[in-house]
Structure 1
């Protein structure tokens, strides 16, 4: 377990590629559950109900995995799905855990305090780093540059937020 956590830390530090993960359906399932669990914790910390957090987390994961599968299938690289999906889910869970602290500083609350401003800054830094990590994973998955992978990550994030907001409102 420690080796797996260390791998995801190194992946998020851009020192390991997703293809270093074993292509394991069990590992994919484990990271899916971890990412969903962390997503619910993040949602609750941000002030959502546990049900709303769960539904949004499920929608985000479904959108991400569907888009990844479709792109890999279209490019005849479907054999990379398990490792890429595991890397995206595992890094998402790790970065989500890190986001709990800045979210607990109430960065989106009505009162503007120095602590809330620090929380907002840290949260912004994590969002940017998450885009870079996703770009890193996509770079190795599709054989593109980090800039191209990051651009895809930004576009995907915009589309996902738009879809989830449409489905669940501003909650």
Structure 2
């Protein structure tokens, strides 16, 4: 079991390094389900750093649902819906890795801490790391979409940014930011 987890982790990490493609991941509904559950749980954990638990759960579930819907929509438009399982597995599998890396960065910048936001060197470094992580995540998503949809990288980057905008828009519409 441990060797299987290691092989899968390395495969997802190779996608994060833009080496492997989504079609290099086994087409498995069980693997998809496992990855969706783990990714959703990590999303909820990260969201719970800055949101009440019920809102964090809603945001995590919404994000997973939108990944699945967005992927199906763009794959169907390109006539490649048979690639949905591997595409979503690759997106959430790499999302697991990004989430694991993001967790300590969120802690470093003080996400969810009460009181005044005091800028310090740790937070500045953390914010730079968060920006780098966001750019890397866009590149990973674009890499996956480029191969799944058979489009050029620039179009895939535009689709990845569009996906992130959709997530932000839906989340903001359902859970508006509180102003003080």
- Paired with 2:150 and 2:75, the residues of 1 have a C-alpha distance of 12
Residue-by-residue CA offset, 1:54-90 (whole Å, 9 max, x unaligned): 1101111111211111222232211100000000011
Correspondence list, 1:99-114, <5 A: 99-106=102-109, 110-114=117-121
Aligned to 1:17: 21
Matches within 5 A, 1:1-40: 1-40=5-44
| Residue of structure 2 in register with 1:163 after alignment | 170
In 2: Cα distance, 1:107 partner to 1:117 partner? 11
**Aligned residue pairs: how many?**
170
TM-score by length of structure 2 reads 0.89
Structure 2 residue 66 is the aligned partner of structure 1 residue 59: no
Task: Provide the residue aligned with 2:88 in structure 1.
Answer: 85
Structure 2: 5+ residue runs without aligned partners? Answer: none
Deviation track 1:91-122 (CA, whole Å, cap 9, x = no partner) reads 11110110011100125661111111111110
Gaps of 5+ in 1: none
Aligned equivalents of 1:65 and 1:144: distance in 2?
Answer: 19
Deviating beyond 6 angstroms after TM superposition, the runs of 4 or more aligned structure 1 residues are: none
Q: Which moved more, 1:29-38 or 1:147-156?
A: 147-156
Note the aligned Cα RMSD (angstroms). Answer: 1.4
Note if 1:148 corresponds to 2:151: no
8 A Cα contact 1:105 1:119, kept in partner: yes
Bigger radius of gyration among the two:
2
**In 1, Cα distance between the equivalents of 2:102 and 2:136?**
11
